[in-house]
Structure formats: structure tokens, C-alpha cells
Amino acid sequence: MKKKKGPRRIILKAPWEIEKLRAANQIVAEILAGLRQHLTSGITTAEIDRIASEEIEKRGAKPAFKGYHGYPATTCISVNHEIVHGIPSDKRVLAQGDLVSIDLGVILDGYFGDAAFSQIVGQSGSDLAKRLLSVTKESLYRGIAQARAKRRLGDISSAIQRYVESQGFSVVRKFVGHGIGTQLHEPPEVPNFGAKGTGPILKPGMVLAIEPMVTAGSYDIRVLDDGWTAVTMDGSLAAHFEHTVAITDKKAEILSDGFM
């Protein structure tokens, strides 16, 4: 989500609500797992979006992004130097070696699911693209490892940032993760940068969408004239991984598990 201002309270979810969130997120995970198989050269991003829409419908859910502040599609599909919020298009044909990020949100029974992955099309990715993927994914899991009761939100942010920067990459500042529940975006914002030991204390019942966006160059971004597609200012490659997780009194539960 886009970074915005304004302190609002973090909503704790009851166990039955966590189950609703799990159900929504499991639909996202199943569909993302299926979409991976379709990421072959020659397919258009609009075709991928169509498949996602059909799969959502089959499962009795609804797309979460379509119509959100006017967003026109079911998925966000962002290629190479596009970071997030790429709009699927009939004109965008994927080729071997493209680094593609797919973000999908659904709503089921009033509760939201949200997750994303990046992948290279075919076997022919550059070493840089492969390293960027593995570092971004690993940073997500390092963030999740900090998502535990009694720790602070900044522990998640800092774990992601430190790892990414130690590998020579940058974390995007203009977009952040978020709380999720009966809204796609709830408090708190979950930045992928920040200081350990700062921010709200994590509590069981908090549900967070953690979503590092990482670039191979600088973290500056700009949004294209379509009003959505966020790209790296310097044209460097970008990757994005996202899981929705529930804080418990042990390890966080990855509600969207099953597609990475």
C-alpha cells in the first residue's frame, strides 16, 4: 500500500476471525501457486489476470484490488523495473528472463487475503535477477521471524532492511506493508525499513501483510502516467514478496502459506 499519515488503532482479531482470514488467504495462495505454472514466455499479463479472476469466482470469493481507489484489475503484475501496481495489459507479452511480480488480493465472507511473489520467466534469468529474488524472499522470512508477540513492529522492519542492505540492495520507502482484516489496509503501516525496538508492541490477534519491495539500485520510485505502475527511477530491477501473517504467542502463522 501507499504510505500515508494518521495514527489509528490496530484491530486485534478473535480466533474465529483469524480462521476467516486464513480461508481468504488460502484462496490467494492456491491461485498464486496456479499462476506460477502460467508464467511462460508468450503469455500476456492480461491473460494471467483473466485466469486469476476465473479462479477467484470458482471459489466464491471476490477480487480485492478491482475498484480499490479505481484500480482496474484483479491482479497487479509488475515486470522488471516495475516494482508494484503494474496494470495487466493485452499488450504486455512476457518473455524469457523477465522478472515478474504478481500481487493478488481477495475478499471472502468479509475478510481479506493479500499475498505476492516474484519469479523469472523460463530458465534464463540473469544472475542479478536470481539474487534479487532470493534476497527479497529471504528478507520477507526474516521479517516474519520477528513477527512475534512482545516484539515491536520496528523489529520486523529493521530485520528486512538490514538483510537487504547487507546484500547490496535497497528497500523501497514509498510503499509499505499493512494491517489487514475486514479492510484490505488497516493500521499499522509495516515499513520495510526502520529501527529495532521502536513502534507498537506486537500482540496475539494482530494480522499483518508484510511485503518487502526491493530494488537492485536506488530506492527512488516514480509512478507512470497510468496513475498506478510504480517503477524504479533508475531503471533497476525490482522484486516483491508478500505474506499475510497472524501474530500468536508463539511463531507467527503464515495465513497465506503454500505458494512460495
Tell me: cis bond preceding 187? Omega within 30 of 0 counts: no
Sequence-separated (6 or more) residues with CB below 8 Å from residue 208: 147, 156, 177, 178, 179, 180, 188, 190, 244, 245, 247
Q: Which of 55, 82, 98, 103 binds ligand MF3 (CB under 6 A)?
A: 103
Q: Which of 29, 53, 65, 169 binds ligand MF3 (CB under 6 A)?
A: 65
Residue 253 CB coordination number (10 Å):
18
Q: Which of 10, 24, 35, 76 binds ligand MF3 (CB under 6 A)?
A: 76
Q: Which of 18, 76, 209, 213 binds Co ion (CB under 5 A)?
A: 209
Closer to ligand MF3 by Cβ: residue 154 or 212? 212
Closer to ligand MF3 by Cβ: residue 85 or 152? 85
Closer to ligand MF3 by Cβ: residue 7 or 70? 70
* 213 binds ligand MF3 per the rule CB under 6 A: no
> Which residues inside 155-184 make contact with ligand MF3, applying CB under 6 A?
178
Phi, psi of 110, rounded to the nearest 5 degrees: 85, 0
Query: Residues interacting with Co ion, by CB under 5 A?
Result: 114, 209
